[in-house]
Amino acid sequence: MLNEVTVTRYITPLREGGSLPGLVEGDDHGAYVIKFAGAGQGRKTLVAEVVCGELARRLGFRVPRLVTLALDPVLGLGEPEQQVQDLLRGSGGTDLGMDFLSGALGFDPLGFRASPAEAGRIVWFDALVGNVDRSWRNPNLLVHRGDLWLIDHGATMIWHHNWPGADASAARPYDASEHALARFAPDVAGAAAELAPLVTEDLLAEVTAEIPDVWLTGEPGFTDPDALRRAYARPLLARAATVHERVTGIEERP
């Protein structure tokens, strides 16, 4: 289970994010980026963050530690900005938090060199989860103490918006032509050989067990949270073995 932290203070909005994530302080005195259950796509975005973040971590990627944040909507009352106040008041209960990487910079493809191996691992992972949000325009990669960290997995697994069509949707190829790391000759086949065998039913059960029940209840067609957890695992298990053959838009390596 993810650690549970209670929000004690809302510090500031993070201006770069489309969903207006904020910076908060927890009762453990940690600084967290908060993703609100009451924002835009709401709970599904948070589920995607947990599934992809915890899967990536177990595959050896650097991902900020994730926690659940208990938010008392009363914290919104003192916010001068209407949009922020609405978000806080509409997101009482369980939100998502991640360790704030102090001093991290946004990835700049012209100022950072990724090796073909590292680029390949990240492109392969994004293909696995169908991440459409790692383009050179909006890389959602941070450089922290010289290393690349993965953030923002809210726009992945598009199949979870239409479960009856999930298997067909998950069989689709992945277009990496706009990917932030496409220009680094990503060795996707090498990454697949290393990582695909690690994506097992057991690993995915462990990963999906991290999703808080409260974000899984009430999904049409599912009687209980565990049935929905299995639905999240299934397309990922099916994709892992062969998705590298369906990555398009990157230069072939000689």
Ligand X SMILES: Nc1ncnc2c1ncn2[C@@H]1O[C@H](COP(=O)(O)OP(=O)(O)OP(=O)(O)O)[C@@H](O)[C@H]1O
CB atoms within 10 A of CB 145: 8
* Per CB under 6 A, 151 contacts ligand X: yes
Least Å distance, CB 151 to Mg ion, is 7
Cβ-based neighbours of 203, under 8 Å, separated by 6 or more: 55, 58
* Residues binding ligand X: number (CB under 6 A): 21
Q: Give the integer Cα–Cα distance in Å for 83 and 89.
A: 10
Q: Which of 49, 118, 152, 187 binds Mg ion (CB under 5 A)?
A: 152
Q: For the segment 129-148, give every residue that binds Mg ion (CB under 5 A).
A: 140
Give Dmax (Cα) for the chain: 60
- Examine residue 140 and tell whether it contacts ligand X (CB under 6 A): yes
Binding flag, residue 18, ligand X (CB under 6 A): yes
Interface pattern 71-100 for ligand X (x via CB under 6 A): ---------------------------xxx
| Distance in Å, CB of 50 to ligand X, minimum | 13
Q: In 3D, which of 192, 133, 140, 189 has the Cα closest to residue 157?
A: 133
d(CA 94, CA 86) in angstroms, rounded, equals 16
x/- map, 170-209, ligand X, by CB under 6 A: ----------------------------------------
Which residue in 152, 170, 179, 188 binds ligand X (CB under 6 A)? 152
Q: Does 22 bind ligand X (CB under 6 A)?
A: no
Closest CA to 91 of 37, 22, 10: 37
Residue 199 — left, alpha, or beta (φ > 0 → left; ψ -120 to 50 → alpha)? beta
Phi, psi (degrees; rounded to nearest 5) at 55: -70, -50
> Which is closer to ligand X, CB of 117 or CB of 158?
158
Total residues binding Mg ion (CB under 5 A):
2
The number of beta carbons lying within 10 Å of the beta carbon of residue 29 is 8
CB under 6 A: which stretch of 10-18, 195-203, 232-240, 242-250 binds ligand X?
Answer: 10-18
Q: How far apart are CA 209 and CA 228, in angstroms?
A: 11
Q: How far apart are CA 129 and CA 51, in angstroms?
A: 9
Q: Which is nearer to ligand X, 64 or 225 (CB)?
A: 64
Residues that bind ligand X (CB under 6 A): 14, 16-19, 21, 33, 64, 98-101, 104, 106, 133, 138, 140, 142, 151-152, 154
Q: Write out the residues near Mg ion by the rule CB under 5 A.
A: 140, 152
